[in-house]
Chains A and B, each alone.
Chain A
Amino acid sequence: MRNVFLIIKHEISTTLRKRSFWLTTFLLPAAILALSLGSQVLARSSIAAGGSNPLLGGALSANKPIGYVDAAGVIEQIPEPPKSDNPLQATGPLQEYSTEAAAQAALDREEISKYYLVPADFIQTGDLLVVDSNFSVFNSLENNGYFEYVLRLNLVKDANLAEMLADPTAEVETQGLAPQGVKKDDGFDSFGVPFAVLMIFYFVITMTSGFMLQSVSSEKENRTIEVLLLSMRPRDLMLGKILGLGVIALLQIVVWGGAMLVFGGVSLGGLNELGLPEGFFVWALLYFVFGYLVYASLLGALGALAPSTREGTQFTFLIMLPLFVPMMLNSALIQTPNGGLTTFLSLFPLTSPVTMITRLAAGNVPFEQLLLGLVVLVITTYGIVVFSARFFRADTLLSFNALNLKRLLQEIRR
């Protein structure tokens, strides 16, 4: 047992010394952070510069007056324009023109940023024309809500009703049938959190299982395995490696989970606000541990069988394929967390480690299914660990024969 601990320690320290580990552990979240923050900074700097950013082009004309020609005669009252620190939300006052030509002339003189033309048949057709001197896709982000609000108010003649018509489902709370808590229905919680969970589980299981393949096959390749086999049983070696790299996997989960919270602007105390169901972290830990064991064992067996790291890597995709399915179907899983396909993938043991937890983050999962999925996963894990351990024997570890189906069958029959 002493040597198992030495192997655990060795695997941890060896992996932590690898530059690739630190790059993938920190660079990936940092890249995501840079991409998400960078785009916001760019947009904000453009806005602050009054639209002069050459990258984004176009001008934001936040506080210039907006013209309108009311041929339908619907506008009788004009409320104050909304005040906002955000240039995208800010807008200038409305300026009425009697004719389209007058509005156009004002636009040409740059006295107004744009003008609306409310045609005489507006009530019947709902058609509205907006003439903007500097239209671009980016400029379309500018707030048009003020004029729309003015129209709504003048149509319904009631300020509250006009507000409500703008967004009748502004404050919706989703109450699930299963008693796992209340979820706020906003963008980050409903899609961002499950997607982040899916990404983290997929990448951490893939990466740490990959470390297992690398660790075993490199010891084969540099012949260290022969010396190690004189100090310990092959299966103790496998155990030490799986546990050691398991610690690394958990460390990555913490780093990436932490990064996810930072991106989401969530403090540790504010975890509840993510709308994750009660017991989420316990289920996540259980599914992760067994999922990791399944794939690390399989890739460990691949490392034992393959004559070199390079040849082993060629087969990695086949083994990791089931884990890739939920990644490919991420939208379907998150949008229909209780659909037939999602339910199947969350119970099928090779896809359940990622799918079940993504599903749990996206919606409510009945307790029975969580339990069933876990039991199936645990039984499968046991079978796969026993199966993989068959290949952790000296004959196989010291063999450098090419890996093909014939050899695989021979090894299984031994």
Chain B
Amino acid sequence: MTTPTAMVSHLSKSFGAVRAVEDVSFEVYPGEIFGLLGPNGAGKTTSIRMMLDIFTPDRGEISVLGGKMDEAKKNRIGYLPEERGLYKDLKLEPTLIFMARLKGLSDAEVKRRLPDWLKRLDLYDHRHKKIQELSKGMQQKAQVIATLLHEPDLVVIDEAFSGLDPVNTRLVEVIIREQQAAGKTIIMSTHQMHQVEALCNRIALINKGNTVLYGEVDQIKRNFAGNAVTITGQGDFLNVPGVLEARQVNGDWHLSLASGASPQDVLRTLTARDGIKIERFEIAEPSLDDIFIWTVQGRQEPDHA
């Protein structure tokens, strides 16, 4: 089996009386884009900070880039924190040079690489501006450059797409895919499920300081299939026993099932109803959004899956 690029096992961390992380474990393998999901305050950022040796865990094991973190390894990591970390009152270019030099690049190497990045992200003409004069999206793109300029092997991104318009979101997506294609490992912490579905191979969902869901995205979706059905037909699909919510999507009915209710029970109930005509009945593959909400709200994946 391939050695994971990053491995955290049973991490826990408290701040005074507050337990920020209780039991978080996951492994991230070379060349994959790994999604770290969870509601606000779930312990994602604290877990990332422990993994990156910014915080010391109270308990648990961490291995990054083949072992314990050291100063040399820190130069092989690119970190884009959720809260933007740039000097607002300094100019863009010297700030990026300083950041990259802290990551071990020589002055000459930074100056060789930087113009291409600035041009690609449409910041070249703004390089002499103070960061506070840049728009939020521009600052975000500058932060992306600061994260990747030193060509790290492990990239950790907390909310990469915050503040970006659709064009720049697409651009950053492309850049993330390029990094993956170049063999880099990417850990993405985000709330935006469609991006996770589009980019991530595997995910870990953290809730209340615990890893509550972990594995391949497709497998997790399969595991949760059966919690919803899609129906094409005519008639009244409301107020069906065992259905939590029924809503129409593009002419089809989407029924979310209550815990313990099976698609077969619902089908049986519907066929017994007068005035119902069913043209198609399909067990729906849930979106990650649904899975996120179900998991966070305490609903389990179905037993049969």
Contact = CB atoms under 8 A, between A and B. Distances in A.
Contact of A398 (B54, B89, B103, B146): B54
A82 B15 CA distance: 84
A310 interface: no
A10 B98 contact: yes
Main secondary structure of the interface of B (DSSP, over half): loop
Contact of B102 (A6, A219, A226): A6
A314 interface: no
Interface stretch (A69-77, A156-164, A228-236, A381-389): A228-236
A10 B96 CA distance: 12
Interface string A6-30: 1000100110010000000000000
B8 interface: no
Nearest to A2: B104
A226 to B, nearest CB: 5
Contacts of B54: 226, 229-230, 394, 398
Nearest to A14: B90
A229 B87 CA distance: 15
Contacts of A395: 15, 55
Contacts of B53: 230
B74 interface: yes
Interface string B62-88: 000000000100110101010111111
A190 to B, nearest CB: 45
Interface string A374-407: 0000000000000000000011001100000000
A224 B87 contact: yes
Given A3-B102, A231-B74, A223 B84 contact: yes
B101 A230 contact: no
Contacts of A3: 102
A231 B78 CA distance: 10
A410 B146 CA distance: 35
Contacts of A196: none
Given A222-B88, A395-B15, A227 B101 contact: no
A225 interface: yes
Contacts of B77: 230
A234 to B, nearest CB: 9
Interface residues of B, number: 29
Interface in A176-209: none
B98 A6 contact: yes
A228 B54 CA distance: 10
A219 B86 CA distance: 8
B101 A6 contact: yes
Interface centre among A227, A232, A394, A395 (most CB of B within 10 A): A227
Contacts of B99: 227
Contacts of A399: 15
Interface centre among B89, B102, B104 (most CB of A within 10 A): B102
B81 A226 contact: yes
A2 B106 CA distance: 11
Contacts of A10: 98
B251 interface: no
A303 to B, nearest CB: 15
B16 interface: yes
Contacts of A218: 87, 89
Contacts of A230: 52-54, 74, 77, 79
A230 B77 CA distance: 8
Q: Which 9 residue pairs of A and B lie closest in terms of their CB atoms, listed nearest first? A: A223-B83, A227-B85, A231-B102, A223-B85, A224-B85, A226-B81, A394-B54, A229-B54, A230-B79
Interface of A: 2-3, 6, 10, 13-14, 17, 218-219, 222-232, 394-395, 398-399, 410
Interface of B: 15-16, 49, 52-55, 71, 74-75, 77, 79, 81, 83-90, 94, 98-99, 101-104, 146
18 contacts: A6-B98, A6-B102, A13-B94, A14-B90, A17-B90, A219-B87, A222-B87, A223-B84, A224-B85, A224-B87, A226-B79, A226-B83, A226-B85, A230-B52, A230-B53, A231-B74, A232-B71, A394-B54
Given A230-B53, A398-B49, 13 more contacts: A2-B104, A218-B87, A219-B87, A222-B86, A222-B88, A224-B85, A226-B79, A227-B81, A227-B85, A227-B146, A228-B85, A228-B102, A231-B74
